[in-house]
């Protein structure tokens, strides 16, 4: 095409020849047509991401997650409400305990001097009677404890602490009941009430005895104590005594123990 244009533009002897002018116009027209027919630069098409297809399983999982979130929120609210109720209940319990304490103090104040003195005198008479009769060595242990409780009650009475004195007298009466009740000696299965001693009692074994972990003959043997082993009794349950040794604490049948000679 350049060659044609140069040939058309190159001067000749007759530059004004109409045929040459016509050829020049034709060449310009061809150039124009060719330039207009050139393929334009292609523009890349935009990349379109494929839309994910939501299956029924995905939808089910979404619903399940939403349901679990709802349940979790409900649980959190329930726990919050329970904590509030517990706090309210704790406050109410504190008020009840205060009322119970005030009632107990009031009952202690209602313990009169004459009634306490009468109970102490009655217990002392019963103890004096037991000292005059022969009782088993095992019952001597309970008698000593009852005597100590009665003496403590008398001391509290002299200090105008009538309610506390009545508590000690009641325990002394219970011990006297254990001594005087013949059916009590038949109880060796540990179903009797546990009685804690306010004052421990020094004892020693009459022979080789088994120290058990519970007040019954079927319980495990902790150790075997030799004759004349010193122990300290701190509670009783039926015909059993809970004793403390140098190394262990356990239960011994009261027939295997006795008090000191003095």
Give the CATH number of the domain where residue 169 resides: 1.20.1270
Residue 73 lies inside a defined structural domain of this protein = no
Residue 236 has pLDDT above 50, yes or no: yes
Q: What is the per-residue pLDDT across 14-31, written as a single tens digit (0 to 9) for each?
A: 445 677 777 777 877 777
Q: How confident is the model at residue 88 (pLDDT cuts 50, 70, 90)?
A: confident
> Which of 7-21, 28-42, 112-126 has the largest mean confidence?
112-126
pTM: 0.44
Identify whether residues 239 and 173 lie together within a single domain.
no
Q: How far is CA 230 from CA 144, 181, 203, 245, 259, in A?
A: 17, 28, 6, 7, 10
Mean local confidence (pLDDT), 110-124: 84
- Which long-range contacts link 156-161 to residues 24+ away (Cβ below 8 Å)? 157/113, 157/116, 157/117, 157/120, 160/113
Identify whether residues 189 and 170 lie together within a single domain.
no
Q: What is the per-residue pLDDT across 176-224, written as a single tens digit (0 to 9) for each?
A: 887 887 665 454 444 566 777 777 778 889 899 999 999 988 999 999 9
Give the CATH number of the domain where residue 243 resides: 2.30.30.40
Residue 147 lies inside a defined structural domain of this protein = yes
Q: How far apart are CA 140 and CA 173, in angstroms?
A: 15
Rg (CA), the chain: 55
- Of 131, 137, 142, 173, nearest to 241 by C-alpha is 142
* CB contact set of 23 (below 8 Å; sequence gap of 6+): 8
Q: What is the per-residue pLDDT across 140-159, written as a single tens digit (0 to 9) for each?
A: 778 888 888 898 889 888 98
Q: How far is CA 204 from CA 63, 128, 228, 238, 261, in A?
A: 78, 25, 5, 19, 10
Question: What percentage of the chain reaches a pLDDT higher than 90?
Answer: 12
Tokens of 166: 């009545």
> Which of 74-83, 197-206, 225-234 has the largest mean confidence?
225-234
- Of 223, 218, 205, 192, nearest to 259 by C-alpha is 205
Q: Which domain holds residue 231?
A: 185-262
């Amino acid at each position: 095409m350049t060659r044609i244009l140069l040939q058309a533009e190159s001067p000749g002897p007759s530059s004004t020849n109409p045929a040459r002018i016509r050829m020049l116009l034709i060449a310009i027209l061809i150039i124009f047509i060719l330039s207009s027919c050139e393929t334009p630069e292609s523009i890349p098409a935009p990349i379109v991401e494929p839309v994910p297809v939501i299956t029924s399983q995905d939808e089910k999982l979404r619903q399940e997650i939403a349901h679990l979130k709802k349940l979790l929120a409900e649980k959190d609210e329930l726990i919050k409400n329970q904590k509030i109720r517990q706090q309210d209940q704790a406050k109410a319990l504190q008020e009840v305990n205060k009322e119970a304490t005030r009632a107990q103090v009031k009952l202690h104040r209602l313990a009169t001097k004459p009634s306490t003195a009468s109970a102490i005198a009655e217990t002392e008479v019963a103890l004096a009677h037991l000292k005059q009769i022969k009782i088993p060595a095992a019952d001597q242990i309970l008698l000593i404890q009852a005597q100590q409780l009665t003496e403590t009650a008398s001391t509290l009475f002299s200090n105008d602490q009538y309610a506390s004195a009545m508590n000690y007298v009641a325990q002394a009466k219970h011990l006297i009941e254990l001594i005087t009740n013949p059916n009590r000696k038949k109880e060796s299965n540990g179903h009797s009430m546990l009685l804690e001693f306010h004052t421990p009692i020094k004892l020693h074994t009459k022979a080789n005895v088994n120290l058990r972990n519970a007040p019954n003959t079927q319980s495990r043997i902790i150790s075997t104590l030799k004759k004349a082993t010193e122990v300290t009794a701190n509670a009783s349950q039926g015909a059993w005594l809970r004793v403390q040794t140098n190394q262990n604490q356990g239960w011994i049948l009261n027939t295997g123990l006795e008090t000191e000679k003095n």
